[in-house]
C-alpha cells in the first residue's frame, strides 16, 4: 500500500469513527452544558468505570466457564489471565468510581471551583492510558519466564496489585494530583467535617499504597506488608471513602441534616481504624507470624462489623425520618442496597470465617471468594452506581426521576438482576467452599490428594455451574443498567422536586 493510499484509509477510518460518535451523542442526548468543570471531569471517570465494570463481568464469566471446562480457551486466554483481569478491573473501576464521586461533590461541598482542573484532566488521561496499556500487556505478553525486568514492565506477581512497577509510580503521581486538587479546593473554599475526614483518608490511602511497593526476600515479611495494602485499603480507607460519599449523597437525596451524617461519619472513622488495623491480624494466621496474632486477629475481627452496623442504622434512620422522600428513586434504591450489602457482605460474610478456629478450614477456599463477591459488590459497586444515577440526572438538566418516571422498569429490573445475580453467586461459592473445607481440609487433612478430591466432587462441580448461571444473571443486569443509564430521563420534561436540606 502506498503512503497516499494509507493516508486515505486512515482518513476514512477517522471519519467513520467521528460519525459513530456523533450518532451516539445524538442518541443519548446528554447536554454537557449542564455540568461544571469538575462535574465534566467526574463523568469521564464514571464512563471509564462503567467500561471496566463490563470488562470485570466478562472476564469473570470466562473464568467461571474454565472452572467447569478447564480446556476452554487453553493457551489462548488462560484461567490465570482471566482471573487477574477480572480482579484488577474490579479494583480499578471502583477507584475510578470513587474519584469521579469525589470530583462530583467537591465543588458543591467546598463552594469553590476546582483548583488544578487542568492537572486533574491530564491525570485522568495519563491514568486511563496506563490502565489500557497494562491490560493489553496482561492479555498479550503474559508468556515466558519472569526476570527482574518483568517486575518493571510486565507484572509484579502480587495478587490484586499486579500492575508493573512503572504503573505503580504513575498511580502514585496521579493520586498526588488528585490529593492536591481536593486539598487546594477546600482551602480556597470552605472546610467541613466531611472535607476533613476525606483529606485524612486520602493521606492514609496513598501511604498504604506505598507499603505495597517494597519487596522483601522473606516471604512472611513480604506478605505481612502486602496485606497492609489489601486489607487496610479495602476494609479501612475505602470504607471511610464510601462513608464520605454516602454522607454527602444522603444530604442531597433526602435532605438529611449535616450534623447527623457528620456525627456518624466520625464514629465510623474511629471504629473502622480502631478495630480495622488490629483486625488485620486475621490475615496473619497462616503465614508464619507469632501465635499471639490468633487471639488479636480473632478478637478485633469480631469488632469489625460494628461500624458497618452503624452505617446501616444511619441509612435506615435517615431515610425513615424523611419518609423516603427523594427526587431520585434509582439513586436512593442503590444507596439502600449499599447499606445492606455492606453489612452482610463485608460484615456478616467476613465474620463467618475470620475466627482462627474456622479460618483453619476455610482459608484459601471458595469461602473467601463468596465473601469477596458479596463484600465488594455490596460495599463499593452499589454506592458507585448510586452516584452514576445522581450524575445522569443532573447531566440531563435535573429532570424528574421519582415516582411515575418513564421506563422505570429498567432500573428496577437492573437493580433486581444485579443483586440477585451477585447473591446467587455468593451462595453457590459458599456451597463450593463448604465442600472444599469439609473434604479437602477436615476429611483429608489438607493433602494434595484432598485438594483434587474436593475439586472433582459432584457437589463442588454443581455449585460452580450455578455460579456461572448466576454470573449470567448478573451480566444481564449490567447490560440493562448500562441501557438505563444511557436513556433514563431522555424524554422527560418535568423537573425534579428540590429536596431542601434540614437545618443543623
pLDDT for the residue numbered 318: 64
In this prediction, residue 19 has a pLDDT band, given cuts at 50, 70 and 90, of: confident
pLDDT for the residue numbered 17: 80
DSSP H/E element including 344: none
Task: For the chain, give the percent of residues with pLDDT over 90.
Answer: 48
- Region 23-40 average pLDDT: 85
> Minimal CA–CA distance to 487: which of 381, 405, 422, 367?
405
State the Cα–Cα distance between residues 366 and 370, nearest whole angstrom: 6
State the Cα–Cα distance between residues 147 and 328, nearest whole angstrom: 53
pLDDT for the residue numbered 302: 75
Summarised one tens digit per residue, pLDDT across range 61-113 is 999 999 999 999 988 899 989 999 999 999 999 999 999 999 999 999 999 99
Residue 307 has pLDDT above 70, yes or no: no
Quick check: 232 and 136 in contact, CB under 8 A?
A: no
Q: Which residues pair with 399 in a beta bridge?
A: 495
Nine-digit cell string for 461: 462441580
Residue 248: C-alpha distances to residues 324, 355, 446, 449 (Å): 16, 35, 48, 53
In this prediction, residue 31 has a pLDDT band, given cuts at 50, 70 and 90, of: confident
pTM of the predicted protein model: 0.92
On the CB side of 220, how many CA atoms lie within 13 Å of its CA?
7
In this prediction, residue 7 has a pLDDT band, given cuts at 50, 70 and 90, of: confident
Residue 361 CB partners (closer than 8 Å, separation 6+): 437, 441, 442
CA dihedral 429, 434, 439, 442 (to 10 degrees): 140
pLDDT for the residue numbered 285: 85
State the Cα–Cα distance between residues 93 and 116, nearest whole angstrom: 23
State the Cα–Cα distance between residues 173 and 167, nearest whole angstrom: 10
State the Cα–Cα distance between residues 4 and 9, nearest whole angstrom: 9
More confident residue, 288 or 371: 371
Residue 504 has pLDDT above 60, yes or no: no
pLDDT for the residue numbered 67: 93
pLDDT for the residue numbered 502: 63
Phi, psi of 495 (to 5 degrees): -90, 150
State the Cα–Cα distance between residues 281 and 297, nearest whole angstrom: 4
The 3-state secondary structure of 396-426, one letter per residue: CCCECECCCCCCHHHHHHHHHHHHHHHHHHH
- Region 268-289 average pLDDT: 80
pLDDT for the residue numbered 269: 80
Q: Which residues pair with 495 in a beta bridge?
A: 399
Summarised one tens digit per residue, pLDDT across range 373-383 is 999 999 899 99
Residue 383: C-alpha distances to residues 189, 219, 316, 323 (Å): 26, 36, 15, 21
pLDDT for the residue numbered 294: 85
pLDDT for the residue numbered 312: 66
- Region 303-313 average pLDDT: 68
pLDDT for the residue numbered 220: 83
In this prediction, residue 42 has a pLDDT band, given cuts at 50, 70 and 90, of: very high
State the Cα–Cα distance between residues 66 and 331, nearest whole angstrom: 35
Summarised one tens digit per residue, pLDDT across range 470-490 is 999 999 999 999 999 999 998
Residue 121 has pLDDT above 90, yes or no: yes
Summarised one tens digit per residue, pLDDT across range 179-212 is 999 999 999 999 999 999 999 888 888 777 777 6
Residue 465 has pLDDT above 70, yes or no: yes
State the Cα–Cα distance between residues 377 and 420, nearest whole angstrom: 12
pLDDT for the residue numbered 329: 93
- Region 247-263 average pLDDT: 83
pLDDT for the residue numbered 322: 59
Amino acid at each position: 500500500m502506498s503512503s497516499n493510499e494509507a493516508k486515505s484509509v486512515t482518513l476514512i477510518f477517522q471519519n467513520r469513527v467521528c460519525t459513530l460518535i456523533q450518532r451516539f451523542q445524538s442518541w443519548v442526548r446528554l447536554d454537557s452544558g449542564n455540568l461544571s468543570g469538575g462535574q465534566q471531569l467526574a463523568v469521564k471517570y464514571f464512563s471509564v468505570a462503567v467500561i471496566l465494570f463490563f470488562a470485570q463481568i466478562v472476564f469473570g464469566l470466562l473464568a467461571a466457564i474454565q472452572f467447569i471446562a478447564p480446556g476452554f480457551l487453553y493457551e489462548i486466554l488462560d484461567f490465570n489471565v482471566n482471573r487477574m483481569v477480572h480482579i484488577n478491573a474490579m479494583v480499578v473501576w471502583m477507584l475510578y468510581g470513587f474519584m469521579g464521586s469525589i470530583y462530583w461533590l467537591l465543588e458543591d461541598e467546598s463552594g469553590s471551583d476546582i483548583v488544578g482542573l487542568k492537572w486533574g484532566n491530564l491525570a485522568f488521561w495519563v491514568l486511563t492510558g496506563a490502565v489500557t496499556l497494562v491490560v493489553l500487556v496482561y492479555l498479550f505478553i503474559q508468556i515466558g519466564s519472569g526476570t527482574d525486568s518483568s517486575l518493571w514492565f510486565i507484572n509484579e506477581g502480587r495478587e490484586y496489585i499486579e500492575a508493573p512497577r512503572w504503573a505503580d509510580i504513575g498511580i502514585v503521581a496521579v493520586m498526588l494530583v488528585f490529593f492536591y486538587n481536593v486539598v487546594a479546593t477546600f482551602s480556597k473554599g470552605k472546610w467541613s467535617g466531611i472535607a476533613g475526614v476525606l483529606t485524612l483518608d486520602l493521606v492514609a490511602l496513598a501511604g498504604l499504597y506505598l507499603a505495597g511497593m517494597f519487596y522483601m526476600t522473606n516471604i512472611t515479611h513480604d506478605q505481612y506488608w502486602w496485606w497492609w495494602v489489601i486489607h487496610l485499603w479495602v476494609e479501612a480507607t475505602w470504607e471511610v471513602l464510601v462513608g464520605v460519599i454516602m454522607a454527602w449523597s444522603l444530604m442531597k437525596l433526602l435532605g438529611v441534616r449535616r450534623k447527623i451524617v457528620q456525627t456518624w461519619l466520625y464514629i465510623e472513622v474511629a471504629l473502622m481504624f480502631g478495630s480495622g488495623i488490629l483486625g488485620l491480624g486475621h490475615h496473619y494466621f497462616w503465614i508464619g507470624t507469632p501465635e499471639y496474632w490468633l487471639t488479636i486477629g480473632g478478637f478485633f475481627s469480631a469488632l469489625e462489623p460494628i461500624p458497618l452496623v452503624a452505617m446501616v442504622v444511619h441509612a435506615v434512620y435517615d431515610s425513615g425520618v424523611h419518609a423516603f422522600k427523594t427526587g431520585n428513586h434509582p439513586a436512593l434504591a442503590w444507596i439502600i442496597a449499599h447499606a445492606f450489602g455492606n453489612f452482610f457482605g463485608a460484615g456478616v460474610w467476613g465474620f463467618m470465617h475470620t475466627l482462627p478456629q474456622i479460618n483453619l478450614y476455610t482459608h484459601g477456599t471458595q469461602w473467601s471468594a463468596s465473601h469477596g463477591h458479596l463484600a465488594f459488590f455490596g460495599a463499593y459497586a452499589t454506592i458507585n452506581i448510586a452516584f452514576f444515577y445522581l450524575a445522569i440526572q443532573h447531566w440531563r438538566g435535573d429532570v424528574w426521576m421519582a415516582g411515575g418516571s418513564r421506563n422505570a422498569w429498567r432500573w428496577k429490573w437492573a437493580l433486581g438482576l444485579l443483586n440477585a445475580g451477585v447473591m446467587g453467586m455468593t451462595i453457590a461459592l459458599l456451597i463450593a467452599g463448604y465442600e472444599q473445607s469439609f473434604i479437602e481440609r477436615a476429611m483429608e487433612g489438607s493433602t494434595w490428594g484432598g485438594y483434587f478430591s474436593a475439586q472433582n466432587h459432584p457437589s463442588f462441580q454443581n455449585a460452580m455451574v450455578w455460579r456461572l448461571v448466576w454470573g449470567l444473571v448478573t451480566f444481564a443486569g449490567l447490560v440493562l443498567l448500562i441501557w438505563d443509564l444511557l436513556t433514563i430521563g431522555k424524554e422527560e420534561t418535568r423537573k425534579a422536586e428540590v429536596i431542601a436540606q434540614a437545618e443543623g
